[in-house]
């Protein structure tokens, strides 16, 4: 039976300072996403973009949580849409936009399964921890707080979507590929007892071992897990067009292996790909890589 996939774009860039990620959903679509998913045998529909606010029309507001009302509104719209996609029997595929949108994606998945007395897990593929709060943030950018918000730490406008927090239990949450953490994030992640696999863990153990353990953690006593892929998870040599590029990330093949193992698990509940910045890209090759990784996550095999 063909996998039902529903695509939605969230061209939001209010969660960070560097402009351009608002064009990420278009860049990934231009890279042939729809046709290649259909070629994989998926039954696909592109639902267009969630309505978002633009920086040109807004004031940043609180310097410790910039554009908070506008981001919260977009995340609520996205969460409602994600719930409807799952209700319709489809896998939500969310294209960002900056990483603040993850609050909407995972909240929608969590709320759907919570109504059925089931928990969900979360695998966060990222160079960064995204575990700051307004009290610790050096920038006030909410894309650096998204994971903390999902685990119940941060502005109430984001933590309390649907009236409960946390959306994901720390025991079901795993970060993979981290290689750039702010000191306060390290302390908060340890306090929350979130499992963190750094690039050193991947270097020493290999991607397969790390991702298999991540899948086991996120699948334990859950309905399955969300995957949030920040393209800066991949080394900047392979993915130059990202919101916050950092050297020392996953290689091309390591990234594919991670998503292939996730597909093999059969436990994927939603997939989002964020922080594609065409302004910084080279002939759209980061968006093309995003499409390739999406295909791997949805079951494409080499042989």
| Residue 238 bears catalytic tag | no
Catalytic one of 13, 22, 70, 143: 143
70, 185, 260, 275: the active-site residue: 275
| Whole-angstrom distance, CA of residue 186 vs CA of residue 53 | 32
Please say if 57 is a catalytic residue. no
Question: CB–CB of 95/272 below 8 Å?
Answer: yes
**Which residue is catalytic, options 70, 230, 272, 288?**
230
The residue annotated as part of the active site, out of 70, 130, 272, 288, is 130
Specify whether 256 is catalytic.
Answer: no
Distances (CA, A) of 70 to 48, 50, 219, 225: 19, 13, 33, 27
The single residue of 70, 232, 254, 260 carrying the catalytic annotation is: 232
Annotation marks residue 185 as catalytic: no
Quote the CA–CA distance of 169 and 28 in Å, as a whole number. 31
**Is residue 275 annotated as a catalytic residue, yes or no?**
yes
Catalytic residue among 128, 172, 179, 256: 128
297/259 Cα distance (integer angstroms): 5
Tell me if residue 126 is catalytic: yes
Q: Which candidate in 99, 172, 179, 256 is catalytic?
A: 99
Tell me the torsion sign for CA atoms 50, 231, 295, 201.
negative
Kindly name the residue from 126, 254, 281, 288 that is annotated as catalytic.
126
DSSP output for 206-263 = -HHHHHHHHHHHHHTTSS-EEEEEEGGGB-TTT--SBSS--SS-B-HHHHHHHHHHHH
Note if 232 is an active site residue.
yes
8 Å CB contact between 22 and 11? yes
Cite the active site residues. Answer: 99, 126, 128, 130, 143, 230, 232, 275
């Amino acid at each position: 039976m063909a996998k039902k996939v529903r695509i939605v774009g969230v061209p939001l860039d209010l969660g960070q300072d560097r402009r351009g990620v608002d064009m990420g959903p278009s860049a990934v679509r231009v890279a042939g996403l729809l046709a290649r998913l259909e070629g994989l045998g998926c039954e696909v529909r592109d639902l267009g973009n969630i309505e978002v606010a633009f920086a040109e029309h807004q004031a940043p507001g609180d310097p410790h949580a910039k554009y908070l009302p506008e981001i919260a509104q977009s995340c609520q719209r996205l969460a409602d849409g994600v719930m409807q996609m799952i209700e319709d029997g489809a896998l939500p595929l969310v294209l960002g936009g900056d990483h603040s949108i993850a609050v909407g994606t995972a909240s929608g998945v969590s709320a759907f399964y919570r109504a059925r007395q089931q928990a969900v897990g979360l695998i966060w593929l990222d160079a960064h921890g995204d575990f700051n709060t307004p009290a610790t943030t050096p920038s006030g950018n909410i894309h650096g707080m998204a994971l903390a918000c999902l685990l119940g730490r941060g502005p109430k406008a984001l933590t309390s979507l649907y009236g409960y927090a946390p959306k994901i239990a720390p025991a079901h949450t795993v970060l993979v590929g981290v290689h750039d953490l702010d000191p306060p994030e390290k302390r908060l992640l340890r306090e929350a007892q979130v499992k963190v696999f750094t690039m050193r863990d991947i270097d020493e153990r290999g991607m397969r071992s790390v991702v298999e353990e991540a899948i086991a953690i996120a699948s334990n006593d859950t309905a399955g897990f969300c995957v949030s892929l920040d393209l800066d998870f991949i080394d900047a040599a392979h993915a130059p067009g990202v919101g916050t590029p950092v050297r020392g990330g996953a290689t091309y093949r390591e990234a594919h292996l991670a998503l292939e193992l996730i597909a093999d698990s059969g436990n994927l509940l939603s997939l989002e790909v964020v922080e594609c910045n065409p302004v910084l890209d080279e002939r759209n090759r980061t968006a093309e890589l995003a499409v390739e990784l999406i295909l791997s996550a949805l079951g494409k095999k080499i042989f």
